[in-house]
């Protein structure tokens, strides 16, 4: 066996036992580099498939997109050597992340959705997965009319081997109902997940975060608190993959009067947000920071002491920050990102999210954390 192959095997074995995060990605990237250097295209292809999964669950969609493009090109050159079933499955992950990058044009997104549909159709798929991804992508860009059309197609199509699992499908249904403000329906769709009847790699973690706002709006704050306590602990260690869900937990803490804990989450996860390549997820987190700081100012908390990373543009070595300065920075960031997304999407969906902060503030319902959960690391 070649020495480089032994090194590749060792790297991929180490990666298999590493948790989702930068370490796993680094091991796989080194294995890819070795395979590429020695011209072992088959190994390069297979390792990249694993890298795509690691990148997805670690919140590195940028790496996912690059690895997928390379593999798709290899498949198209030699379909017999490089099969497409694994690629088709991962195509769903790719298109799902496209809207998070405002630099990817609407035409590019539409073209990839069309290409995905063609490939799934050629593989004999019912297109159930395609219609679901199309609906989800269009919803995330605020194109509700086109999303409704895709949803109708989805409802009339049978699931197949390329469809998401039932837990993921139910979770996306919850997310859409929340977007429409249909709280009771959102909770109905979440029912099997919340009762432990449906689960997968990222469910119920995502769902616990999604139901916080509906429960708060319905006055069921005690239930929401239980899902916050369970849910946040499950995702706190992977801010790259769950940054937007962490933002929902921050919102909940802020709106229930647990501002000190909300500030701790801001402090803890801002480093990951600053580095997150997904500008959509970064927007969600920054918007939550904006809500927290706005509520702090409303309580006349004019200054906060925080340990923020030196990469933060307003970094102060002493850790003393004026609340208004922080609020101004996050306000500017969210407004700039909203302009970029709205320009790409051709609507005001992201700007409206900023405007809706005032509505959100009116939901404030004091509900203290249980005393054992007030520690910063809880």
Indicate the range of 58-62, 65-69, 160-164 predicted with least confidence.
Answer: 58-62
In a domain, 19, yes or no: no
In a domain, 325, yes or no: yes
Residues 376 and 290 in one domain: yes
In a domain, 351, yes or no: yes
- Distance, in Å, from the CA atom of 334 to the CA atom of 330, rounded to the nearest integer, reads 6
- The rounded Cα 64 to chain-centroid distance in angstroms is 13
- Distance, in Å, from the CA atom of 126 to the CA atom of 167, rounded to the nearest integer, reads 20
Cβ–Cβ under 8 Å, residues 20 and 54: yes
Six-digit token pair at 344?
């790409």
Find out whether the peptide bond into 299 is cis, omega within 30 degrees of 0: no
Residues 231 and 242 in one domain: no
- Distance, in Å, from the CA atom of 182 to the CA atom of 83, rounded to the nearest integer, reads 42
Cβ–Cβ under 8 Å, residues 97 and 116: no
Instruction: Please give the tally of structural domains in the chain.
Output: 2
In a domain, 152, yes or no: no
Cβ–Cβ under 8 Å, residues 124 and 157: no
Is pLDDT at 377 greater than 50 in this prediction? no
- pLDDT bucket at 376, cuts 50 / 70 / 90: very low
In a domain, 187, yes or no: yes
In a domain, 148, yes or no: no
Of the three residues 190, 217, 235, the one that is the final residue of a domain is 235
In a domain, 285, yes or no: yes
Residues for the chain: how many in total?
378
- Distance, in Å, from the CA atom of 40 to the CA atom of 32, rounded to the nearest integer, reads 9
Is pLDDT at 124 greater than 80 in this prediction? yes
Residue-range definition of the domain harbouring residue 344: 237-378
Q: Which single residue is written with the structure tokens 């290899």?
A: 74
Residues 292 and 192 in one domain: no
- Mean pLDDT (whole number) for 149-169: 96
Task: State the angle between helix axes of 221-235 and 239-255 in degrees (0 to 180), rounded to the nearest 10.
Answer: 150
- pLDDT bucket at 19, cuts 50 / 70 / 90: confident
Residues 247 and 368 in one domain: yes
> Smallest Cα–Cα separation from 203: which of 256, 237, 177, 165?
165
Residues 278 and 213 in one domain: no
In a domain, 338, yes or no: yes
pLDDT > 90 in the chain, percent: 91
Residues 353 and 284 in one domain: yes
Residues 245 and 344 in one domain: yes
Of the three residues 186, 220, 235, the one that is the final residue of a domain is 235
Of the three residues 196, 214, 235, the one that is the final residue of a domain is 235
- Distance, in Å, from the CA atom of 339 to the CA atom of 344, rounded to the nearest integer, reads 9
- pLDDT bucket at 222, cuts 50 / 70 / 90: very high
> Smallest Cα–Cα separation from 253: which of 238, 236, 240?
236
Residues 374 and 241 in one domain: yes
Residues 209 and 340 in one domain: no
| pLDDT tens digit sequence for 311-357 | 999 999 999 999 999 999 999 999 999 999 999 999 999 999 999 99
- Distance, in Å, from the CA atom of 59 to the CA atom of 21, rounded to the nearest integer, reads 8
- The rounded Cα 298 to chain-centroid distance in angstroms is 30
- CA distances for 336 relative to 17, 74, 217, 341, 353, angstroms: 40, 38, 29, 9, 13
Residues 228 and 330 in one domain: no
Residues 215 and 245 in one domain: no
Residues 341 and 221 in one domain: no
- Distance, in Å, from the CA atom of 332 to the CA atom of 290, rounded to the nearest integer, reads 10
- CA distances for 157 relative to 126, 133, 135, angstroms: 7, 13, 13
């Amino acid at each position: 066996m070649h020495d480089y192959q032994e090194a590749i095997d060792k790297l991929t074995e180490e990666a298999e036992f590493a948790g989702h995060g930068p370490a796993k990605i680094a091991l796989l990237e080194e294995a890819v580099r070795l395979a590429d250097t020695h011209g072992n295209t088959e190994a390069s292809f297979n390792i990249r498939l694993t890298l795509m999964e690691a990148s997805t669950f670690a919140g590195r969609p940028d790496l996912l997109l690059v690895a997928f493009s390379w593999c798709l090109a290899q498949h198209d050159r030699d379909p017999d050597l490089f099969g497409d079933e694994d690629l088709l499955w991962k195509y769903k992950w790719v298109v799902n992340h496209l809207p998070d990058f405002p630099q990817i044009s609407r035409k590019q997104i539409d073209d990839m959705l069309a290409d995905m549909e063609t490939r799934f159709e050629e593989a004999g798929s019912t297109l159930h997965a395609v219609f679901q991804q199309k609906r989800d992508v269009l919803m995330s860009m605020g194109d509700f009319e086109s999303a409704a059309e895709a949803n109708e197609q989805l409802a009339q199509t049978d699931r197949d081997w390329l469809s998401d699992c039932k837990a993921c499908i139910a979770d996306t249904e919850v997310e859409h109902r929340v977007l429409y403000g249909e709280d009771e329906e959102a909770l109905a769709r979440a029912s099997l997940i919340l009762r432990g009847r449906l689960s997968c790699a990222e469910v119920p973690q995502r769902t616990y975060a999604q139901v916080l706002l509906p429960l708060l709006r319905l006055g069921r704050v005690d239930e929401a608190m239980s899902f916050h306590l369970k849910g946040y602990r499950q995702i706190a260690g992977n801010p790259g993959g769950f940054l937007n869900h962490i933002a929902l937990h921050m919102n909940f803490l802020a709106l229930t009067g647990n501002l000190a804990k909300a500030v701790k989450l801001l402090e803890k996860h801002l480093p990951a947000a600053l580095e997150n390549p997904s500008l959509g997820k970064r927007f969600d987190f920054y918007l939550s920071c904006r809500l927290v700081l706005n509520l702090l100012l409303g309580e006349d908390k004019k200054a906060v002491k925080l340990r923020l990373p030196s990469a933060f543009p307003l970094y102060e070595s002493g850790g003393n920050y004026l609340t208004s300065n922080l609020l101004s920075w996050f306000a500017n960031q969210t407004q700039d990102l909203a302009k970029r997304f709205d320009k790409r999407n051709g609507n005001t969906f992201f700007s409206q999210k900023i405007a809706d902060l005032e509505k959100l503030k009116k939901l404030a319902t004091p509900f203290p954390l249980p005393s054992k959960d007030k520690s910063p690391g809880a």
